[in-house]
């Protein structure tokens, strides 16, 4: 039964629904709301105990120590101790995140691991059950991921007036609020994802794109938006009334160390505000496959340009960007989908190989939980995860693990690594000192050929 005025977002379709209006600018808006909704009622039965699932799922290849840090063997049900409740009991402190090993500094002349970060914007669990699909896939492969949770995905629509978006009417959002069942499922997935070593970061809240959206926000407005995203995660028991549901097993004030801005807009002021919000990194930019640097005290780890097979330009490493240069809509001709699937898979793997055999720059792949073009992009992401995460010297990690590793390294070594261009290995091999790297300033890859026409739209997210 549908409650009047209630809408439910299907996560993937919401992510980028107004994109085509922004084709040449490479941006998108989450504007499409799907019909339906979940009637609000009594508090739900206790959510499934995430620790029980953790106990049943020892990960293949779980020992991921060494230069990259990573995962220890999957913890059993006793690995997560009973937590100390925080605030209204929506979150709790249960000790260090289970199953992770600390990073170590590279030895002199040691080749760095090939890091790959799979990240998910607006992470929520709707009827497509994609959050759970990729969480379980990561567990199978010994991979951790970053889930950029939209704060309002834990806020019932009936409580929407608690949200005061900067420069917008109270309760406004360009993505839909989730129904009760989707909120319950999202809480279960967030809970289990953290227990399995994944990162819960933020995609903020209302997803406002365009010149009057996040692009216009001041640092103070970014701080307000982020504080509200934190509040919704820390107070879902208050807003839902589900006072007996199991708490999230982490302190979100400490867990939240980074995010990705909607449409990759408003980034400069977000960077300026980042340190004051407890952030250690930002992934709202677009760049090339080179080693990251710090800006305003944050690690700047952007989405990256990768080959677009069959075209004379490169594309950001995200599902929507391939779609925008293929079907330009969410339901293109089925006869073309096998080609598009192959094109994205080949592009991501070519990007991976030139890093893996070249400068070993961390690769960043961004995604949405969506079913565009019959789900081909989700199938590609799964294929690529299975292809790369088990390779020798590859570490599929979260952004948190990546920045932990970066912070553990000798700054002189990182500076030397940043001198390598896209796909460029050290000229005399890895068994050398940083002083033997090319004598030139930190650099980005040479300018790429670009196509920005109506039939090859570009967007920033």
Per-residue pLDDT at 26: 31
- Give the other-Cβ count within 10 Å of 191's Cβ: 23
pTM for the predicted model, two decimal places = 0.82
Per-residue pLDDT at 67: 53
Tell how far CA 220 is from the center of its chain.
24
For 330, how many CA atoms within 13 A lie in the half-sphere containing its CB?
A: 15
User: Beta strands 314-316 and 303-307: pairing type?
Assistant: antiparallel
Per-residue pLDDT at 43: 35
Per-residue pLDDT at 227: 98
Per-residue pLDDT at 431: 75
Per-residue pLDDT at 458: 35
Per-residue pLDDT at 51: 45
> In this structure, are residues 367 and 137 in contact, taking their beta carbons and an 8 Å threshold?
no
Q: How far apart are CA 415 and CA 406, in angstroms?
A: 11
Per-residue pLDDT at 439: 59
| pLDDT tens-digit profile, the chain (461 residues) | 333 333 344 454 444 443 333 332 232 223 332 222 322 333 333 333 444 454 444 333 334 444 555 554 444 334 566 789 999 999 999 999 998 999 999 998 899 999 999 999 999 999 999 999 999 999 999 999 999 999 999 999 999 999 999 999 999 999 999 999 999 999 999 999 999 999 999 999 999 999 999 999 999 999 999 999 999 999 999 999 999 999 999 999 999 999 999 999 999 999 999 999 999 999 999 999 999 999 999 999 999 999 999 999 999 999 999 999 999 899 999 999 999 999 999 999 999 999 999 999 999 999 999 999 999 999 999 999 999 999 999 999 999 999 999 999 999 999 999 999 999 999 988 875 655 566 565 554 443 333 332 233 333 34
Contacts of 341 (CB under 8 A, 6+ apart): 376, 377, 379, 380
Contacts of 245 (CB under 8 A, 6+ apart): 43, 44, 46, 47, 184, 187, 237
List of domains in the chain:
11-38+50-77+90-436 (3.20.20.370)
Burial of 417 (0-12, 13-18, 19+ CB in 10 A): buried
Per-residue pLDDT at 328: 86
Per-residue pLDDT at 65: 40
- Give the other-Cβ count within 10 Å of 413's Cβ: 19
User: Beta strands 84-86 and 281-282: pairing type?
Assistant: unpaired
């Amino acid at each position: 039964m549908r409650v009047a005025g209630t809408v439910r977002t299907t996560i993937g379709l919401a992510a980028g629904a107004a994109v085509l209006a922004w084709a040449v600018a490479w941006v998108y808006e989450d504007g499409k709301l799907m019909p339906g909704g979940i009637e609000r009622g009594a508090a739900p039965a206790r959510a499934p105990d995430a620790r029980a699932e953790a106990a049943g799922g020892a990960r293949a290849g779980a020992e991921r120590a060494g230069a990259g840090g990573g995962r220890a063997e999957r913890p059993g049900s006793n690995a997560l101790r009973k937590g100390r409740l925080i605030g209204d009991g929506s979150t709790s402190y249960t000790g260090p995140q289970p199953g992770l090993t600390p990073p170590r500094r590279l030895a002199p002349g040691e080749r760095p691991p090939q890091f790959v970060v799979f990240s998910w914007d607006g992470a929520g669990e709707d009827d497509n059950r994609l959050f759970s699909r990729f969480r379980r896939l990561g567990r199978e492969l010994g991979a951790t991921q970053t889930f950029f949770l939209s704060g309002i995905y834990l806020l019932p629509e009936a409580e929407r007036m608690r949200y005061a978006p900067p420069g917008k009417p109270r309760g406004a959002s360009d993505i839909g609020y989730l129904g009760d069942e989707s909120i319950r499922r999202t809480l279960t997935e967030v809970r289990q994802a953290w227990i399995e070593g994944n990162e819960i970061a933020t995609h903020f809240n209302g997803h406002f794109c365009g010149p009057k959206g996040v692009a216009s926000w001041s640092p103070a407005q970014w701080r307000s938006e982020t504080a509200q995203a934190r509040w919704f995660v820390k107070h879902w028991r208050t807003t839902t009334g589900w006072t007996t549901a199991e708490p999230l097993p982490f302190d979100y004030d400490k867990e939240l160390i980074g995010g990705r801005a909607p449409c990759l807009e408003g980034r400069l002021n977000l960077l300026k505000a980042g340190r004051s919000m407890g952030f250690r990194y930002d992934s709202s930019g677009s760049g090339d496959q080179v080693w990251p640097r710090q800006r305003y005290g944050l690690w700047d780890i952007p989405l990256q340009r990768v080959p677009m097979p069959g075209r004379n330009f490169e594309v950001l490493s995200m599902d929507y960007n391939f779609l925008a240069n293929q079907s330009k809509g969410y339901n293109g001709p089925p006869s073309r989908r096998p080609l598009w699937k192959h094109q994205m898979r080949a592009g991501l793997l070519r990007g991976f190989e030139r890093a893996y055999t070249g400068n070993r720059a961390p690769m960043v792949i961004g995604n949405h939980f969506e079913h565009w073009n019959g789900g081909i992009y989700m199938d590609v992401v799964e294929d690529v995860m299975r292809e790369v995460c088990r390779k020798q010297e590859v570490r599929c990690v979260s952004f948190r693990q990546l920045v932990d590793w970066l912070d553990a390294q000798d700054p002189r070594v990182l500076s030397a690594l940043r001198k390598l261009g896209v796909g460029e290995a050290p000229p005399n091999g890895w068994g050398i000192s940083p002083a033997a790297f090319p004598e030139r300033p930190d650099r980005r890859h040479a300018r790429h050929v670009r196509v920005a026409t109506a039939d090859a739209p570009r967007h920033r997210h």
